[in-house]
Structure 1
Amino acid sequence: MELKKTPLFDEYAKHGARVIDFGGWALPVQFTGILAEHHAVRTHAGLFDVSHMGEVLVEGSGAEPYLNRLLTNDVALLGAGSAQYTTMCYEGGGTVDDLLVYKRADGSFLLVINAANIDKDVDWMQQHTAGDVKITNVSDKTALLALQGPEAEQLLQPLTNTDLSAIRPFCFVESASIAGVDDVMLSRTGYTGEDGFELYVPAGSAVSLWQRLAEEGIPLCGLGARDTLRLEARLPLYGQELTQTISPLEAGIGFAVKTAKNPEFIGQRALKKQKETGLARKTVGIEMLDRGIPRTGYRILSELGEPIGFVTSGTHSPTLKKPIGLALVDAHFSGVGTKFFVEIRGKRAEAVVVRTPFYKRERNV
């Protein structure tokens, strides 16, 4: 099967990108190198093509109550021009997807979903449609660029008349003009743990805007750095920290779950029960005490050798210069300072539970 391509695919080769198959998409894992790109975002800024992400428009007079039935967070708290992180769940509490929801001035909503889940999510949304609601998958018409890093604002400001300092975190401007490209939805959000912006661009304008930003000398970044950055910031990845069998509470993002919502959202009863009875498993941050990098799927063993969980994500942290990971473990072993073993290629390597996020930026905005 031929890999899907974003509107920026032809730009990758011009900049020496190494392209991989990522969930059926041909995407750059790196341009100059993961370490260099990671450090660029932490200290300066970096530009990502994340146009593989899905966008779904929800319109109609019943849009808000419909979404509040579908999503775990409280959409009613959103004002026009603001965004919210949330999840969709199955009745049993497992996760359909995690996503961002944006409320627009006309009362409609834009949902930004994970690329591998687009078809599944849209089907799920359509199955549960009620009232005056219209769902439109606009993924193919939308490209998404992410400019991330402490210098993102000062680099982008000369290219737009929009006052970027006025856009607070998790807020957005519906229609900005950037470097001559109009109708850009400009959002102060991201997936790196740094300040920055996500630029939702008409697909036909993506190449010209990408080229203009690249002309500014902003380092181009691939999925490799995106993954190490998000892991240091303890941001979950669907398919690893969140799955059909891992609830948002187990993944440690309970802030996005409002179990007292009325009327109920799908999965609310199961998640409320998890909270009331106590979680049997929890996602924890780990650092390796012995040599080795914890990789997704590696088993976690107690000091007695009993299986107590597994690694969901792991890497060698470029910022901390040590191996780190996230692991879903038996709740009895989730306390900070608890030690256990990661089974790495048949050998046991000691690890310890640590506080997360592993990295937290100094916030100026």
Structure 2
Amino acid sequence: MSNETTIPNHPEEDLIHHQPEWFRKALAEAGEDRFVTSEGSRVHYRFWPARQKNRPGLVFVHGNGAHARWFDFIAPLLTADYNVASMDLPGMGDSEWRTDYTRETYAHAIAAVAFDADLGPKPVIVGHSFGGFVTHITGGLYGHRLGGIMLCDFRVCPAERAMEWFLNDPPRRATRIYPDFETALGRFRLAPLQDCANRFILDYIGRHSLIEVKKGDNRGRGPAEESGWTWKFDPFAFEGLAMGSDHGNIYTTMPCKVAGIYGAESKDYDPETIAYMKEARPGTPVFTIPHAQHHIMLDQPLAFASAVHALMSTWEAEGALAATEAEKVCTAAE
């Protein structure tokens, strides 16, 4: 995600610039790039196979303006037990841009990846922020075919407290084109703004957030008058995008497992909403990761991966990730 506004960082001595060993080992387990078509447009995702055969799987869904490679260092931490995919939502990363976007557009794309990526009979969707929103919609539409969904720093509100993130935004503008890669990379910021001590992670995802454009390209939805580098997301993807006020009903009737993971220091951690989510679905795990802000996987990557693994292990033990006997019969008949 990029933003032109600056934000105070940790003192320089508190920042971690070097790549720790676990991070380097994770990146060495490179994902395979794949594409699938959803509603006529190509959707890009990355895939890491489990080290054992016939294992369940999950797909990570990034937030607003981000991309699949935000999970390049998370996915390999899970492949000892699970197949893992990480996708670019339509209009972001290396997925194609569209002329129209709806919450269902994103949900269908998520489902296309989940059912294409060798993730087992009942894949799990893990969505962060905006990705949590569209993961929630995916669960409402496809929950009967999913093992579960994990909502990461996305709050589910009842109808009377429903929020629209985009409908009242000012008109969107084309993304800025920077003269060279280093200048563009220097403008990389998290959105919403927060500091992050793990500078080595920001350096990595920032480098994968940019694309080179030539004079005359219309990557920013307008002919470029100069060449250079710009952000990979479609700046008009959210123009007029409606979130809806039915999230509470979708949540309570979701026909698959649900969990909520929040940063303990996140501005999106709202005790009132969390209490509603626990009450609306009794027994649903809703919990926080200590010392994490909104971007949980950047602030506390190892704890985040451990939380996802623990939920996957629990749901697998409960049989939620395996096909029912009726589903096995239907699959055999097909």
Normalising by structure 2, we get a TM-score of 0.25
Normalising by structure 1, we get a TM-score of 0.24
| Structure whose alpha-carbon radius of gyration is higher | 1
Q: Which has the higher helix share?
A: 2
